[in-house]
Chain A
Amino acid sequence: NAGVTQTPKFQVLKTGQSMTLQCAQDMNHNSMYWYRQDPGMGLRLIYYSASEGTTDKGEVPNGYNVSRLNKREFSLRLESAAPSQTSVYFCASSVGASSYNEQFFGPGTRLTVL
Chain B
Amino acid sequence: AQTVTQSQPEMSVQEAETVTLSCTYDTSESDYYLFWYKQPPSRQMILVIRQEAYKQQNATENRFSVNFQKAAKSFSLKISDSQLGDAAMYFCAYRSPSGSARQLTFGSGTQLTVLP
Contact = CB atoms under 8 A, between A and B. Distances in A.
Given A42-B109, A105-B44, A97 B104 contact: no
Interface stretch (B11-19, B58-66, B70-78, B93-101): B93-101
Given A56-B100, A99-B32, A99-B97, A42 B91 contact: yes
B45 interface: yes
A107 B108 contact: no
A90 B45 contact: yes
Contacts, number: 60
A97 B103 CA distance: 9
Interface string A86-102: 00101010000111101
B42 A107 contact: yes
Contacts of A45: 101, 103-104
A88 B43 CA distance: 9
Contacts of A92: 45
Contact of A42 (B32, B50, B102, B108): B108
A112 interface: no
29 contacts: A35-B104, A40-B9, A41-B106, A41-B109, A42-B4, A42-B106, A42-B109, A43-B104, A43-B106, A44-B106, A45-B103, A45-B104, A48-B103, A56-B101, A58-B101, A97-B102, A98-B102, A99-B96, A100-B50, A100-B52, A102-B47, A103-B47, A103-B104, A105-B44, A106-B44, A107-B42, A107-B43, A108-B43, A108-B44
